Amino acid sequence: MKVAVIGGGPAGLYFALLMKRANPAHQIVVLERNAPDDTFGWGVVFSDQTLGYLRDADPESAASIADEFAHWDDIDIHVRGATITSGGHGFSGIARKTLLRVLRDRAAQLGADLRFGQDVPDDAALAGIGVEGMDLVVAADGVNSRVRARYADRFAPDLDVRTAPYCWLGTARLFDAFTFLFVETEHGVFQAHAYRYSADRSAFIVECDERSWRNAGFDAMNEAQTVAACEAMFAPWLDGHALESNAPHLRSPWIRFTRVSNEQWFAMDGTAAPVVLMGDAAHTAHFSIGSGTKLAMEDAILLARVLNRDGASLADALREYQEERRMDALRLQNAARNSMEWFENVRRYIHLDPPQFAYSLLTRSQRVSHENLRLRDAAYLSGVERWFASRAEAGAEPERCPPPMFTPFRLRGLRLQNRVVVSPMDMYSAEDGLPNDFHLVHLGSRALGGAGLVMTEMTCVSPEARITLGCTGMYAPEHVDAWRRVTDFVHARSTSRICLQLGHSGPKGATRLMWEGMDEPLAEGGWPVMGPSAQPYGERNQVPREMTRADMDRVRDEFVRATAMAESAGFDMVELHCAHGYLLSSFLTPLSNRRTDEYGGSLQNRLRYPLEVFRAMRNAWPEDRPISVRISATDWVDDGLTADEAVAIARAFGEAGADIIHVSTGQTTPRGKPVYGRMFQTPYSDRIRNEAGVPTIAVGNITEADQVNGIVAAGRADLVALGRPHLADPFWTLHAAAQMGWKDQPWPIQYASGKSQLERTLQRQQEMLGTAAI
């Protein structure tokens, strides 16, 4: 096989040596525009896992790389006068020049044709330099790939240039751990990522948000001025050592990260030879998780493997490479995006106490979880749990330290025994709004299951406010008595507290039961619906009438009536539903609110009526009992609610007296395209909590106790709501406590023998696992 590789970085060189190692008869030409020793980076970081991949692929080059490694296990975080250390992370650093030398020497030894100082704009230029008759062209020419640009219509690249400037510097100051430094100045917040990559050198990456960068005047500084300013800023940690830049070709050393992805990774039609992307040309991962070179070299491993597989056509090999590597790259890019966004928004977190700030940093990518930190450094995590538990009980140091999810939480006069919430989930099982035995058993069993707070489904404030004929209501005297059965049971038989969620369906009303067709209009027996504007939720839904001021007054009073009835029914808390495209949500989003009066247009106007309803409810509800507000923080469409607006909405409700914001997303338009994934809505809770300064409830594909612990400990939310897990297991919280060995979680006295047996069974399983490991 004859292959031309455009780009002589780690990906191109490693691919060349692997191809020659697999079959010496391959003709591999590597074309690199720079000289052999030119590089504008400093160090490269590999995890222990990646080192294993390299050893399997080519033990010889892996051994040479390992000989040059600087290894560390600790991460040091310096913030607001504190230094926090977490161990067990297992990374190694190597000079980029050294890595290139090792790969270059090994590739040359195996017979690859390496040509440096050979500027090849793209594959069209190959014939002009005598590189003809290629079976394949590998584009490993980096973030700004000219080959990718030539075939942009085939690859469909997505280039997301981020806003946070950073500069990649070096220093002779040796850091014994991977070190994060955070500095607050009058200009803003600045951070450095520093790590040793050789016996005498460290990389030192300085990064900040755009506002801090401009406030400090970095946008007007040249290279020398930038280096001097960074030296002064981080002088306490440099111990008199200088910083230096190796980017003289740039007017300023500041650059911005570009997140690269492509719909297609190879092209075979309309090209002189098939072309395939590799490394940064195909994808990038933010430097804060140190995986760009890892991704590139793992690309090389798989591409070489599939090309050397017997019997496979070139098209099949490239297709296999694309599908397998695209999934791996997507997983890593998602983690890298989380990490990148954390560092882009350090201002959001800098107010956190140092222990929580450091924990938030360590778990930012969602690849490192609460229990994973315990495996890495149990002493560190125990310290975090002690700190968190002491804060949860107003500074008291508990004799036995609970996991974060089992710490109590207070809202006004309400004390929740833990941070677990049973999400409000519509059951569509009422008649004429009346909750029945199903609701008693459904909600009662979840309360017996140990959750700190149980929420009812959206309970409608009038017959016309119902979504379906099966929705519960709070608008008739008999509803109070029926709900009282539920609250009495919860209070008498469990340690849980119970919240009534109140809402109005608005434009999404008069639809069928969920299992008969989600959001499908009733075939018969429907009623007219209303909203802020005559904008139907979907094409098949009714066109709502635009609400008049008289309609607004009536609906507001219905919410107030239902709130008073909730007190009579014995609820500990109420929640106002302003999410998911229902009435009050449809006022908040510009997708459905097209009014031209004082209730439409600007966010202030769109907020006016929902705030009016909330304030009236707050006045009708006892002062010592909390009220929550549920919002959709994004519509998942470009012309919908913005993230900044979601923060402003939460802040406005907080200022009006809301005690906690229940942060959901979407369901406001059929056009929404949610980006699903585990804990996919938690970032919205995180932002609202830490920017608006109000407590939050996180929700959305949260399924494990480990995730709950991580969300709460990091300050991404104060409470965590789980829906489907509680449908599958009403005793989810009790089981989680047993699995974590937390015996202080109360169980119903009637189930005490089950608790003992479960704890013994789990203990035996743990002992058996320990024996097997030995």
Strand duo 157-171 + 202-208: pairing: antiparallel
- HEC states along 127-169? HHHCCCCCCEEEECCCCCCHHHHHCHHHHCEEEEEEEEEEEEE
- Residue 757 CB neighbours (<10 A): 11
Strand duo 202-208 + 91-95: pairing: unpaired
Nearest of 439, 480, 471 to residue 569 by alpha carbon: 480
β strands within 271-404, DSSP E: 275-277
Strand duo 696-698 + 660-664: pairing: parallel
Q: Is the dihedral of CA 757, 759, 763, 765 positive or negative?
A: positive
Contact (Cβ atoms closer than 8 angstroms) between residue 424 and residue 456: yes
Distance, C-alpha 88 to centroid of its chain: 23
Q: Is the dihedral of CA 17, 22, 28, 31 positive or negative?
A: negative
Residue 577: strand, helix, or coil: strand
Tokens encoding 653: 């409700």
Q: Which candidate in 380, 582, 599, 609 is catalytic?
A: 582
Bridge partners of 468?
none
Which residue type is seen at 467?
Answer: I
Nearest of 159, 137, 181 to residue 283 by alpha carbon: 159
Catalytic, 195? Answer: no
- HEC states along 351-413? CCCHHHHHHHHHCCCCCCCHHHHHHHCHHHHHHHHHHHHHHHCCCCCCCCCCCHHHCCEEECC
Contact (Cβ atoms closer than 8 angstroms) between residue 633 and residue 684: yes
CA dihedral 221, 222, 224, 228 (to 10 degrees): 20
User: Which residues have a catalytic role annotated?
Assistant: 582
